[in-house]
Amino acid sequence: MSRVLSLNENLAVRIHKNLAQIALSEISASGQLDKKRKVIKKDCLVEIPIRSILSGYDIVCQDRPEFYRQTLVLEDRLKDFLNPHELHLIPRGWYFLGDLIIVKIDPRLDNYKHLIGHVLLSLYPRCKAVLRDFGIEGRFREPVRELLAGEETTTVHKENGIHLKLDASRIMFSQGNLKERQRMSRFGKGELVMDMFAGIGYFSIPMAVHSQPKNIIAIELNPIAYGFLADNIKLNRVDDLVEPMLGDCTKIALDLEADRVIKGMVQVTDRYFLKGIEALRSGGINHYHQTIPAWFYPQAAIKEVVDAAESQGCQTEILNITKIKKYAPGIVHVVLDARITKN
Of the candidates 148, 70, 141, 139, the residue with the CA atom closest to the CA atom of residue 109: 148
What pLDDT does 48 receive? 93
Backbone angles phi, psi at 307, to 5 degrees: -65, -40
Residues 239 and 326 in one domain: yes
CA–CA dist 66, 62 (Å, integer): 9
* Structural domain contains residue 67: no
What pLDDT does 219 receive? 94
What pLDDT does 338 receive? 94
Task: For residue 29, give the H/E element and its range.
Answer: helix 17-30
CA–CA dist 87, 84 (Å, integer): 5
The answer, yes or no, to whether residue 64 has pLDDT greater than 70, is yes
Alpha helices, H only, 162-203: 178-184
Which residue would you say has higher pLDDT here, 195 or 123? Answer: 195
What pLDDT does 8 receive? 42
What pLDDT does 33 receive? 87
Residues 57 and 87 in one domain: no
Residues 91 and 47 in one domain: no
CA–CA dist 162, 253 (Å, integer): 30
Range of the domain at 30: 2-62
Residues 193 and 334 in one domain: yes
* Structural domain contains residue 260: yes
What pLDDT does 47 receive? 92
Interval 177-217: pLDDT, tens = 888 899 999 999 999 999 999 999 999 999 999 999 999 99
Confidence (pTM): 0.76
CA–CA dist 328, 107 (Å, integer): 20
Domain tally, the chain:
3
* Cβ neighbours, 10 Å, residue 79: 14
Backbone angles phi, psi at 283, to 5 degrees: 90, 0
Backbone angles phi, psi at 144, to 5 degrees: -105, 110
What pLDDT does 270 receive? 67
Backbone angles phi, psi at 65, to 5 degrees: -65, 150
Q: For 155, how many CA atoms within 13 A lie in the half-sphere containing its CB? A: 25
> For 238-261, what is the mean pLDDT?
88
Residues 189 and 92 in one domain: no
Return the sign of the alpha-carbon dihedral for residues 291, 164, 175, 153.
negative
Do the beta carbons of residue 137 and residue 144 sit within 8 Å?
yes
Rounded to 5°, angle at Cα 274 from 270 and 280: 115
Residues 262 and 313 in one domain: yes
Q: Give the domain CATH number at 219.
A: 3.40.50.150
DSSP-assigned letters across all residues of 195-207:
ETT-TTTTTHHHH
CA–CA dist 165, 152 (Å, integer): 13
> For 2-21, what is the mean pLDDT?
70
Do the beta carbons of residue 23 and residue 57 sit within 8 Å?
yes
Q: Give the domain CATH number at 16.
A: 3.30.70.2580
Beta strand pairing call for 40-42 and 45-49:
antiparallel
Of the candidates 214, 261, 269, the residue with the CA atom closest to the CA atom of residue 238: 214
CA–CA dist 237, 107 (Å, integer): 43
* Structural domain contains residue 68: no
Of the candidates 201, 202, 174, 206, the residue with the CA atom closest to the CA atom of residue 187: 206
**DSSP 8-state class, residue 52:** S
Which residue would you say has higher pLDDT here, 177 or 226? Answer: 226
* Structural domain contains residue 169: no
CA–CA dist 283, 275 (Å, integer): 16
Interval 261-302: pLDDT, tens = 998 877 666 677 777 888 899 999 999 998 888 888 889 889
Residues 10 and 135 in one domain: no
**Structural domain ending residue among the three candidates 13, 32, 62:** 62
Residues 53 and 94 in one domain: no
Taking phi over 0 as left and psi of -120 to 50 as alpha, with beta for the rest, 141 belongs to left
> For 134-144, what is the mean pLDDT?
81
CA–CA dist 193, 257 (Å, integer): 9
What pLDDT does 269 receive? 66
The answer, yes or no, to whether residue 147 has pLDDT greater than 90, is yes
**DSSP 8-state class, residue 268:** S
* Structural domain contains residue 17: yes
Residues 9 and 120 in one domain: no
The answer, yes or no, to whether residue 1 has pLDDT greater than 80, is no
Which residue would you say has higher pLDDT here, 49 or 253? Answer: 49
Work out the widest C-alpha separation in the chain, in whole angstroms: 72
CA–CA dist 12, 5 (Å, integer): 10
